[in-house]
Amino acid sequence: MLSKQQVEHVAKLARLSLTEDEVELYTKQLSKILDYIDQLNEVNTKGIEPMTQPIPTVNVMREDIVKKQFDRSEVLRNAPYEEYGFFRVPKIGE
Amino acid sequence: MVRPYTDYQPIMYAINVIVLNTTQSKTKYEVVIGLEVHAQLKTKTKIFCGCPVDFGADPNTNVCPVCLGMPGVLPVLNKQVVAYAVKTGLALGCKISKHCKFDRKQYFYPDLPKNYQISQYDQPICTSGQLEVNGKVIGIERIHMEEDAGKLVHAGSDRLHGSDYSLVDYNRTGTPLLEIVSKPDLRSAEEAKDYAQTLRSILRYLEVCDGNLEEGSMRCDVNVSLMPVGSKTFGTRCEIKNVNSFKSLARAIETETERQSEILDSGGKIIQETRLFEETSGKTISMRSKEEAHDYRYFPEPDLVPLEISQSWINEIKETIPELPHDKKIRYPKDYSLSIDDTKVLTDDRNMAEYYEAVVRLGANPKKAANWLIGPVTAHLKEHKTDIINCCMTPVQLADLLGFIEKGIINDNIAKAEILEELLSKGTNSEEIIKEKGLAQITDEGEIKSLVKEALETNPEQLKQLKEGKDKVKGFFVGQIMKKSGGKASPAVVNKLIDEYIK
Ligand SMILES: [Zn+2]
């Protein structure tokens, strides 16, 4: 069972602000999800190598060759704010 | 502006995070230091996209959807990055992982467009190496590959005037980095500095990194903790960032050691935190980073497949490793009868070492060639803010010059005063300069004899002393005669003729 503190911690890490009710609700829902996932622990995995990728491929690499980059006006087109060719962002808190 | 939260502090590796001990003469504590060095790799393109790595470019001109973290894009690993990582690992005696993967390290910061950094967590590409520093072996915990973040710019006085925004340039985003983590084996500021300098020298020999601390192509984070002398348990460590030179590195460790010992002496406790070294005050200041900021929630990067490094590829890379400074330091005193100090100066930089070896291969006397390179040549290079490969003098030209001295055609002083400068700045050849300026040494005894006679006879007082056996006066006469000859008389012949005259 997940604690309320854990949910608050995760929310904080994800920069989400939750109401009391939401914390309550998500604590229950996330706990259920985790319980469901926990069923996997019942599978006997003795002797099976851990896998981090379902695709049976390794070593996808490219050569160190420059590809044409994008035009800056295009790059900045999606930026809400720009200045002197830079992306403009809110000041970073101390 | 320094980015907080980017230090490598996985929970599983708490122990390797650095921190070691050193003997402080004046205190009862041993300081324990570990270094995390970030080395920017000299590839043409970024680690996961084909954008060029170019630090002089206008802001946001070397970016693409991949390094900007646009939705739906896929990273593709740059093969050269892997090769450089393996090369570095081999040079540092590491074990190269046959199998490894990339992971996502999550944190929010405007210089990180994806909100995660692709790094390697529990399967670094290289592990358990070592680096010998002044005869002591310093362990290398691990080396892993990761991507750099962008650059935040606080335009000029903006901060002072309470500006409410920052500017971001993503050109650096995705530049390949190697993070080289030492074991907490370092025990003094001096030792840490030597370690960093030795590592830099190797990275430059390997041609994988420029190793420029001031410009940030090599960056050091330092972990410092104290423990009572004789203790086996490390104290709580602090991580120091923003160290931009080897001098600052030593200074940061010294002031942090002082700060921590004062706290411990007064019965206080060290709080584990990240601190910033301030160049101006020479102090470290707390970054007061929030605790959960270090909760990076690593998980395997689903957009990249695992890496398998074959023995044949490793062997191929091994072939590209040149003789390293450590091996040269053993060989030079043996092959060239050089002192340890001279060897150190010549081998620190690969270009200098290779230049020296070339001059010797061309037949120059090894000791003489070393003296010339360490002395007048280095002085000239420093004065003109250049280096041995960018000056005009080729190894052939230096070997020729030394040959003319060896054969007695010119003497050392003339070579230094009249020829060297021209070789270094114009690259003409010695033979032409000697002819043009009429610098060839006078070895004709008849010609010198008259100079000797003249000098001795016009200084009867000194001549009397010389005849009485006052050898010091001989130097006076040699000087007079050399001056008269415009420095061209052969000192050996001059000495011989003076002896003959007074006999
Ligand atoms: Zn890109």
- For the segment A77-91, what is each residue's pLDDT rounded down to a tens digit? 989 999 999 999 987
Residue B217 near residue B53, CB atoms below 8 Å: no
Q: Which of B143, B126, B231 is nearest to B187 (CA)?
A: B231
Contacts with A81 from chain B: Cβ below 8 Å: 165
Question: A62 - beta bridge partners?
Answer: B78
Domain covering A4-41, topology: Histone, subunit A (1.10.20)
Half-sphere exposure of B124 (CA within 13 A, CB side): 24
Query: Taking the domains of chain A in order of start, what are their residue ranges?
Result: 4-41
Interface of A with B in 1-40 (CB under 8 A): 9, 12-13, 15
- For the stretch A36-67, pLDDT in tens is 999 999 999 999 888 888 888 999 999 999 99
For chain A, say whether B345 makes contact (Cβ under 8 Å).
no
* Whole-number pLDDT of residue A94: 46
> What is the block-wise mean pLDDT of chain B (503 residues), using blocks of 10 residues?
40 38 60 97 97 91 94 96 98 97 92 95 97 95 97 64 80 97 96 96 96 92 94 92 92 95 92 90 79 76 95 97 94 95 93 95 94 92 90 90 84 82 80 74 77 84 83 82 78 82 77
> Quick one: how many helices (H) and strands (E) in chain A?
3, 3
Q: Which of B60, B86, B104 to mutate to test the interface with A (most CBs of A within 10 A)?
A: B60
Nearest CA among B143, B148, B153, B144 for reference residue B174 = B148
- Put simply, the answer to whether A61 touches B78 (Cβ < 8 Å) is yes
In a mutational test of the A interface, the residue from B103, B114, B165, B296 whose CB has the highest number of chain A CBs within 10 Å is: B165
Which of 260-289 (B) contact A at CB < 8 A? 288
Identify the closest residue of chain A to B41 by CA–CA distance. A64
Give the C-alpha separation, B120 to A70, whole Å: 28
What local confidence, expressed as pLDDT, does residue A57 receive? 92
Distance CA B70, CA B64 (A): 9
ipTM of the complex, rounded to two decimals? 0.90
Calculate how far, in angstroms, residue A85's C-alpha sits from the geometric centre of ligand 1.
Answer: 16
pLDDT of residue B163: 66
Q: How far is CA B229 from CA A27, B22, B475, in A?
A: 49, 9, 58
| Paired strand residues for B338 | none
Residue of B nearest to A50 (CA): B300
| Size of chain B, expressed as the number of residues it contains | 503
**Residue B68: φ, ψ to 5°:** -90, -5
- CA proximity to B208, closest of B78, B121, B304, B107: B78
* Neighbour-count burial of B104, counting CB atoms closer than 10 A to its CB (0-12 exposed, 13-18 middle, 19+ buried): buried
Give the whole-angstrom CA distance, residue B120 versus residue B127. 12
The shortest C-alpha distance from A49 to chain B (Å) reads 12
Taking only residues 46 to 65 of chain A, the set having a beta carbon closer than 8 angstroms to any beta carbon of chain B reads 52-53, 55, 57-65
Query: Is B292 within 8 Å of A55 when comparing Cβ atoms?
Result: no
Tell me the pLDDT tens digit for each residue of B43-94: 999 999 999 998 889 999 999 999 999 999 999 999 999 999 999 999 999 9
Degrees, nearest 5: CA angle B43-B151-B112: 85
Task: Report the gap between the CA of B353 and the closest CA in chain A (Å).
Answer: 29
Per-residue pLDDT at B287 = 80
> Nearest to residue B206, comparing CAs of B88, B318, B90?
B88
Q: How close is the Cα of B8 to the center of ligand 1, in Å? A: 24
pLDDT for B445 equals 78
Each residue's pLDDT tens digit, B147-170: 999 998 875 544 445 567 889 999
> With an 8 Å Cβ cutoff, is B115 touching chain A?
no
B314 touches A: beta carbon within 8 Å: no
Cα–Cα distance for residue pair B43/B55, rounded to 1 Å? 12
When comparing pLDDT for B386 and A94, which is higher?
B386
Distance CA(A83)–CA(A89), nearest Å, equals: 10
Query: What pLDDT is stored for residue B170 in this prediction?
Result: 95
Antiparallel, parallel or unpaired: β B99-100 and B307-308: antiparallel
Nearest CB neighbour to B59, from listed A62, A63, A85: A85
